Structure 1
Amino acid sequence: MIVLAACRRGDSSQAPAGATAAHPAGPGGGARGGAATGLSGQVVTTGDEALPPALALRRAQGVAAMDGGRHDLARQAFAEVLDEAPGNLATQALYDAATEALLAAQSRAGEQFAGRAATVLPAPPWAYTLKQPAPIEPGPPPTLTLVSERANGIGDDGEWLTRNGLALPEYEVPNPMRGEPGTLPPSIPPTFGKYLLVQAIREDGFNILFYGTDYSGGRFVAVQREDDAEIVALFDFEAYAHPPGTPAGERAFTAQRATWAALAGSVLLVGHAHHAEARGGNAFITALDLGSGALLWRSAPLVANAADFVVHRGHVFSGYGAGAEPGHLYVLDAVTGKTVSKTRVKSGPDYLFLRTGQLLVRCYDTDYVFELRHGGG
């Protein structure tokens, strides 16, 4: 029951030693009575566990995903079946097998990535700087017109995201302390040497991967092609952590780590911020040449400490603020990094999303909807 299709192909990378298919599913997706041997050698009694047709189909899709090496998708399929049929031991055995196979694949990916050398970036400027216009197609200046403003429940971010059908384009990263592999494809390395994968963004056929010592942000940022898993860029942003003159006693809690990134053609835009008391040398967006790491421009400080920022039609939409204190939305020119406009909001922005001509903004205690227009149209 454990790795039906993977064992058929005889691919040891898909089916670790010890997995068997001794007891195939019976009619209607149920497991025939008997036992299956798990990846760790344990014997799982399956019994007669017929599943409804829809769940049997979903489990079969999971087995097919296992056969194709997508242990992440297989695990998700088996988890969905278990949500509806938590007592189905055959599906539980498949879920456990997919989890172990995913962890093994991630470990191999991490080992292959460990020896990669990162491009060490020099210390950046700590004020607005334009070195070279970014090769991004410009667009007409946008305007934001308030549509609605509503107090929220503070802390109910998840409900707001669900209610609006929104989600950041991220994978769930592994949690090694709990032995959880997350939702990464097997090709994404969960570690870079001694550094953990702390954030993984999906964008336009690429994965943007952040590696750091903890989940406050990344020191290293890698860009990986999704189709062939090639790492096309790997940058070390350690020199971005502290502006000149940072007192030694403050360095532990004012380190600026990469918190969000986006691709615009051959340009990588990266946000760096910390959430301690506001200081001038904090919360920048930087535009880099993806191939060389050369700095193109750096924004003014204090423009971007929300969870994300958005690149759209030649402009960057970002937010800065601290909790219940008043905050601002910023529009930057993506070609030059120059601030185009600044809109005051009641509290610090947490999330920004574009949807059907509108900018949805989740702040600490207020939710906003703005109509977005470019050049008056």
Structure 2
Amino acid sequence: MIAIISLSIMLTGCTSQHEEEEEHTSTSEYTDIETEENLSTETHLEESDAENEMENTDSGAAMEAQDEAPETDPDASAPAAADMSPIHLENPGVGYYLAEEPETVQEHTLQLEQIYEKANAITDEEGWFAANQLEIPFYGMPGSFAEGKQLPEQIPDSFKSLPLTQSWFDDSFIYCVYGEVYYEGYLLNLYEKDTCEPVMSLDFSAFCSEEYEYGEYQWVRWARVDGQMLYVSLSHNTYSENAPNHAYITAIDLTDMSILWKTEPLVSNARNFEIIGNEIVCGYGFTAEDDFLYQIDRDTGRILEQIPVNSQADYIIRKDDQLFVRTYDTNYVFQIIQ
């Protein structure tokens, strides 16, 4: 298994998503975001009509191309995925954990300078992505209200008798979470982005307390591979006073599956986090609780900086040298200074 993992991580042939180069957005342009969001629905409908017309015009050519294409089996990766044995990861304990101090200390120069803040309509999430030309990093799931790309049909919708509860992607991997109830899950599977071949399966059940009731049973919320490291955010969706030891990030060394560190609790329950240089930018908040963005040291998991925000962070999306943050009721833009 370790050989497969090491080989998969070292692969350099993964397909990268081509991002369009955008002009640098000035602060004055952000004042028009509300207008752009209002127009995004009409623009989307017009584009949809144009796309449908083009699809009808080119349907004959598409059918011919399909006839000439080699046959593929949508379920080809399913048996391989079913054969994976989840690697059980041990929870190093409650609270902050560091396996050992790093031999060298990295210099931290990341600064996040707020350049935009404006209240949002709470329900205009898709308009925010469209107005700022940000990619939705999640796949659309059955029963989900969020828009997203269609999950490749080669990805199994169940694993070890557990249904697929959420899925997202980056340039190299597809991340899938499987669990017992909608949205929550403790099995994290990784598949190669270009081939959908299974890479590994990780079992985080030891990180989920059996004492908690539904809604307090923390799950894998987000994960990201960077080099030989895997960073995973786990949290539940209720008040910290009911179950305070949640909403943290864990760092895993993929060469031997050891836990290198675990942050303090109550730092990460946003839908995602961003890796910027030697730091991780994440966010935590909840009703009647303090809401912050956190800058985390990738070498130790320690908190370097915290930035107050008006409400719980939902999305933290980097675009060029700017960080777009959407909280429950407020949109922010931060200039990334390194």
Q: Same fold (TM over 0.5)?
A: yes
Tell me which residue corresponds to 1:143.
Answer: 111
Which of 183, 189, 196 in structure 1 is aligned with 2:163?
Answer: 196
Q: How does 1:152-301 map to 2 (within 5 A)?
A: 152-174=120-142, 183-242=150-209, 248=211, 250-278=212-240, 279-301=243-265
CA–CA separation in structure 2 for the residues paired with 1:225 and 1:137: 33
SS of 1:316's equivalent in the other structure is: strand
The percentage of counterpart residues that share the same residue type is 30
Scaled by the length of structure 2, what TM-score is found?
Answer: 0.74
Asked whether the equivalents of residues 77 and 198 of structure 2 are also in contact (C-alpha less than 8 Å), the reply is: no
Asked whether the equivalents of residues 123 and 240 of structure 1 are also in contact (C-alpha less than 8 Å), the reply is: yes
2:206 counterpart letter in structure 1: A
Asked whether the equivalents of residues 259 and 307 of structure 1 are also in contact (C-alpha less than 8 Å), the reply is: yes
CA–CA separation in structure 2 for the residues paired with 1:62 and 1:199: 32
Cα distance change of structure 1 residues 367 and 198 upon mapping to structure 2, 3 Å threshold:
same
Asked whether the equivalents of residues 210 and 222 of structure 1 are also in contact (C-alpha less than 8 Å), the reply is: yes
CA–CA separation in structure 2 for the residues paired with 1:61 and 1:124: 54
Tell me which residue corresponds to 1:60.
Answer: 61
Q: How many correspondences in the alignment?
A: 281
Alpha-carbon shift at residue 303 of structure 1 (Å): 0.6
Alpha-carbon shift at residue 294 of structure 1 (Å): 1.1
Cα distance change of structure 1 residues 66 and 341 upon mapping to structure 2, 3 Å threshold:
farther
Tell me which residue corresponds to 2:74.
Answer: 105
Tell me which residue corresponds to 1:4.
Answer: none
SS of 2:150's equivalent in the other structure is: coil
1:319 aligns with 2:319: no
Alpha-carbon shift at residue 325 of structure 1 (Å): 4.8
1:105 counterpart letter in structure 2: P
1:154 counterpart letter in structure 2: I
Cα distance change of structure 1 residues 52 and 224 upon mapping to structure 2, 3 Å threshold:
closer
Q: Which moved more, 1:348-357 or 1:123-132?
A: 123-132
Q: How does 1:83-98 map to 2 (within 5 A)?
A: none
Alpha-carbon shift at residue 219 of structure 1 (Å): 1.1
Alpha-carbon shift at residue 132 of structure 1 (Å): 4.6
Q: How does 1:337-352 map to 2 (within 5 A)?
A: 337-352=301-316
1:370 aligns with 2:334: yes
SS of 1:160's equivalent in the other structure is: helix
CA–CA separation in structure 1 for the residues paired with 2:96 and 2:65: 52
Larger radius of gyration between Structure 1 and Structure 2: 1
CA–CA separation in structure 2 for the residues paired with 1:263 and 1:109: 21
Alpha-carbon shift at residue 137 of structure 1 (Å): 11
1:232 counterpart letter in structure 2: V
Deviations 1:3-23 (A, max 9, x none): xxxxxxxxxxxxxxxxxxxxx
Structure 2: where are the runs of 5+ without partners?
1-51
SS of 2:249's equivalent in the other structure is: strand
Deviations 1:307-333 (A, max 9, x none): 110111111010100147541000001
Tell me which residue corresponds to 2:317.
Answer: 353
1:184 counterpart letter in structure 2: L
Structure 1: where are the runs of 5+ without partners?
1-50, 72-103
Deviations 1:340-375 (A, max 9, x none): 10011111111111123111111111111111212x
Asked whether the equivalents of residues 77 and 196 of structure 2 are also in contact (C-alpha less than 8 Å), the reply is: no
2:139 counterpart letter in structure 1: Y
Tell which has more relative contact order, 1 or 2 (C-alpha 8 A, sep 6+).
2
SS of 1:347's equivalent in the other structure is: coil
Tell me which residue corresponds to 1:79.
Answer: none
SS of 1:110's equivalent in the other structure is: helix
Q: How does 1:3-42 map to 2 (within 5 A)?
A: none
Cα distance change of structure 1 residues 253 and 166 upon mapping to structure 2, 3 Å threshold:
same
1:172 counterpart letter in structure 2: G
CA–CA separation in structure 1 for the residues paired with 2:285 and 2:129: 20
CA–CA separation in structure 2 for the residues paired with 1:70 and 1:304: 44
Q: Which moved more, 1:135-144 or 1:252-261?
A: 135-144
Scaled by the length of structure 1, what TM-score is found?
Answer: 0.67
